[in-house]
Amino acid sequence: MSYISLSGLSSAQLDLNTTSNNIANANTYGFKESRAEFGDVYSTSLFTNSKTTPGQGVQANKVAQQFHEGSS
Q: Are 18 and 60 in contact (CB under 8 A)?
A: no
pLDDT score, position 60: 80
pLDDT-derived band at 19, boundaries 50, 70, 90: very high
Predicted confidence (pLDDT) at residue 66 exceeds the cutoff of 60: yes
pLDDT at 54: 59
Cα torsion angle, 44, 49, 54, 55, sign: negative
Report the pLDDT averaged over residues 14-21.
Answer: 94
Q: Give every CB contact of residue 61 below 8 A, 6+ residues apart in sequence.
A: 37, 38, 39
Q: In 3-state terms, what secondary structure has residue 44? A: coil
Q: Alpha-carbon torsion 48, 51, 52, 54, what sign?
A: positive
Q: Does the pLDDT value for residue 67 go beyond 60?
A: yes
